[in-house]
Structure 1
Amino acid sequence: MPHDLPAVLDAGPSDGVDPDEFVRAAMRWHFDPETGSPYWLSRAGRLGFDPRQDVRGVDDLALFPDLTVELRNVRVTDLVPRGYGPGARVLNVFDSGGTTGAPKRVVQLEDWMRHSSEQVDRRLRAHGLPVGAHWLTVAPTGPHLVGDVLQRAAAGLGAPGLSIDMDPRWVRGLVAAGRADEAEAYTDHLVEQCRRILLTQDIGVLAATTPLLERFAREDDLVEVINSKVDAIVWGGTHMDPDTRDLLSTEVFPDVRLIGMYGNTMMLTALIERVGLSASDPCVFDPVSPYVFLSVLDPVTGEKVEVGERGQVVVSHVSKSMLVPNNAERDLALRVRPVEGHAGDAVADVAPVPKVGGEAVIEGVY
């Protein structure tokens, strides 16, 4: 490690470090020949600027082009910074969902797993989630990040975690091929697995996607048992429009708290809905300083939209283990001011763009 690298790069989410200082330290780490990853060191010469000199803070991350398409083909070993040494512990290799083409890949090292888990845990506890209650998580596992995030969230709250896997790529393929009946049959398969658990186990937290919650709403026995047993529903994956959020909160599951979660593979974590919102308020997600920064931009001009206006979400992940800057997401959202202490924008009412690269975006069950 370079002798002048500040210890700030090892800061946890509760340490209150200055985001601009953290970003400067990260640029030195990722682009120093001794510590940077083979991918970024080989890419540096084609950026057209020097990140160690020109990136002075969070706003300068916009200098980077969106290079996430390259993560479809980069060897995962080339993503690990050399500064970790030969004993670097890669816990997971995560794939994106493949909504916009072939999956992209990122690595999760042990230190980032701790930081991500800590910030998710803190925000869920701020919502008053019960400690020790059983969770039922219905989400993609395997190469997908969300299953790992939710399983660690349950463990952080001392909760036994029951889970049901889903394959979002398979469902998207069915929908794209016009095989809607098979997609519906797969959803029925997921619902039946959930039914067995919900009717026989004391589930305190249910983590599921919007399409599954809408499907549960058609089953009287599941609506009854969820309202009688479940303390909170953590929803995410596919978007939830304001009308659906209000309906599920006030009419279908009036006895259960609905807590939104927004995240993806390139973010390498999940953002939890701001505490204190009502069902009629916009669902707001705040960034996570000093690691995850959001911007809401006009998709044509690339300029920031005004607070309260809608634009495309751009996400930068900056940590010691990974650098994924200026990633233009497939999402549109309202720009909101973040809570104090966090840099960048907060976002509300997130919804997918209808097309990416001329191809329709298919959400399916996730």
Structure 2
Amino acid sequence: MADDFSSVFEPPLDQLPDIDDLVRATMEWHFSPLTGSPYWVERAKGFSFDPRTDVQCLADLRLFADVPVDWSQIPAHQLVPRGSAPGVRYGIYESGGATGAPKRIVDATSRRRNVQWQSLLLDEQGFPSGEGNWLHIGPTGPHVMAKNITTLSELRGMLCYFVDLDPRWVRRCVGEGRQSEFRRYVDHILDQVKDVLRTQDIRGISTTPRILESIGAREDVFGLLRESVRGIIWGGTSMDGETLRLIDEELFPQAKLAGAYGNTMMGVAPQRTPVPGDKAPCVFRPFYPYTVVELVDPAQPDRITADDEEGRVVITVLTRDYFTPPTLERDVATRRASADAFPGIELSGVRPYESASTSVVEGVY
């Protein structure tokens, strides 16, 4: 049974499945008592609709509008599909807790495919591979980023070093106004980065804009990194156009700079290759159709925004490993018309959504 949907869930990366075929396969896989996860099979008993018969296309996912999901409370083992092939191992991954208790997902292979696709886009942009080593300065531990970067460095033929960053502790320090403790923690991170750079041949790094700015302010670390780095992936926190220009043109002009938007729930939306006429210096491309992103009017969530209009992010995840119904996210972004006939929407200018009742502490991640 586990192979029945392979042509939809795991086709070659250059052969995207039809979105409605993927929706139907996801409903059948996750809600069938034979293959579905215990969580979704049990939840479906209380629905006013049958996902396997009533959800036949992307638009039908609106039926889940009245199905709240608290990903921080679900026992993770209840999310593992019963139809998974023998021997397939799942990992449990948590969000950074920017908006409350950490959310949890399970993943076996879907994130690897997402990262394989990201690596193809990096190839298009001339990102380095096969020479030197990689350094990740960011969350490891329960966060899926460690798995993603391990996979990415492996695909690009580079050994990977890690300097761990605890985003929850950083947010706590910032949120409580403990700026001196926050600065000491960042210096602690950079001291470890310096130790790696002094002894290892680091050509590629992945980290956050705040850490890149902090590196630029510490000459003992900046001098080592500027000399060696040839590729930088940034993500995790928002970055305005002027900061992006500063990092790209003044701090690290010899390195290829590529953004990556995403989170534990949605996966990675890497920066696509710039094209003439782009209205933003960095445009993100979600892993469509497995991750479907829409932007809606924050004041009228039923209204989808037009091209070049800002809206709040809504994500849907359709994979064999887990299913996320349309979910309003913490971010706002600007919708961009897709380049080169890409079927999904693209995004730029991602930043946290702030309202009278919603506040996000970014910290350094």
**Common fold by TM > 0.5:** yes
Paired position in structure 2 for 1:126? 124
Q: Given that residues 295 and 310 in structure 2 are in contact (C-alpha distance below 8 angstroms), is that contact kept between their aligned partners in structure 1?
A: yes
The separation in 2 between residues aligned to 1:39 and 1:336, in whole angstroms, is 36
TM-score between both structures, scaled by the size of structure 1: 0.91
Alignment RMSD (CA, Å): 2.3
TM-fit CA distance, 1:339: 3.8
User: Unaligned regions of 5+ residues in structure 1, if any?
Assistant: none
Task: Please state whether the residue corresponding to 1:285 is helix, strand or coil.
Answer: coil
Paired position in structure 2 for 1:326? 326
Deviations 1:290-316 (A, max 9, x none): 201110110121111110000101111
User: Unaligned regions of 5+ residues in structure 2, if any?
Assistant: none
What is the identity percentage for the equivalent residue pairs of Structure 1 and Structure 2? 37
Deviations 1:133-188 (A, max 9, x none): 31111010111011211121001111011110110101111112221110110001
TM-score between both structures, scaled by the size of structure 2: 0.92
The separation in 2 between residues aligned to 1:164 and 1:69, in whole angstroms, is 33
The separation in 2 between residues aligned to 1:210 and 1:277, in whole angstroms, is 23
Paired position in structure 1 for 2:206? 207
Paired position in structure 2 for 1:39? 39
Taking a change above 3 Å as real, the CA distance of residues 102 and 56 of structure 1, as seen in their structure-2 partners, is same
Task: Please state whether the residue corresponding to 1:46 is helix, strand or coil.
Answer: coil
Task: Please state whether the residue corresponding to 1:72 is helix, strand or coil.
Answer: coil
Instruction: For 2:352, give the aligned amino acid.
Output: P
Paired position in structure 2 for 1:48? 48
TM-fit CA distance, 1:63: 3.2
TM-fit CA distance, 1:277: 5.8
Paired position in structure 2 for 1:263? 262
Paired position in structure 2 for 1:253? 252
Check if 1:154 corresponds to 2:166.
Answer: no
Q: Given that residues 127 and 256 in structure 2 are in contact (C-alpha distance below 8 angstroms), is that contact kept between their aligned partners in structure 1?
A: no
Instruction: For 1:191, give the aligned amino acid.
Output: L
Task: Please state whether the residue corresponding to 1:65 is helix, strand or coil.
Answer: helix
Check if 1:145 corresponds to 2:130.
Answer: no
The separation in 1 between residues aligned to 2:256 and 2:360, in whole angstroms, is 29
TM-fit CA distance, 1:322: 0.5
- Between stretches 235-244 and 63-72, larger displacement belongs to 63-72
The separation in 2 between residues aligned to 1:174 and 1:65, in whole angstroms, is 36
Paired position in structure 1 for 2:189? 190
TM-fit CA distance, 1:208: 1.0
The separation in 2 between residues aligned to 1:35 and 1:295, in whole angstroms, is 28
Task: Please state whether the residue corresponding to 2:169 is helix, strand or coil.
Answer: helix
Instruction: For 2:312, give the aligned amino acid.
Output: Q
The separation in 2 between residues aligned to 1:142 and 1:254, in whole angstroms, is 32
Runs of 4+ residues deviating >4 angstroms: 2-6, 66-69, 277-280
Q: Given that residues 112 and 151 in structure 2 are in contact (C-alpha distance below 8 angstroms), is that contact kept between their aligned partners in structure 1?
A: no
Give aligned pairs, total. 362
The separation in 2 between residues aligned to 1:4 and 1:143, in whole angstroms, is 31
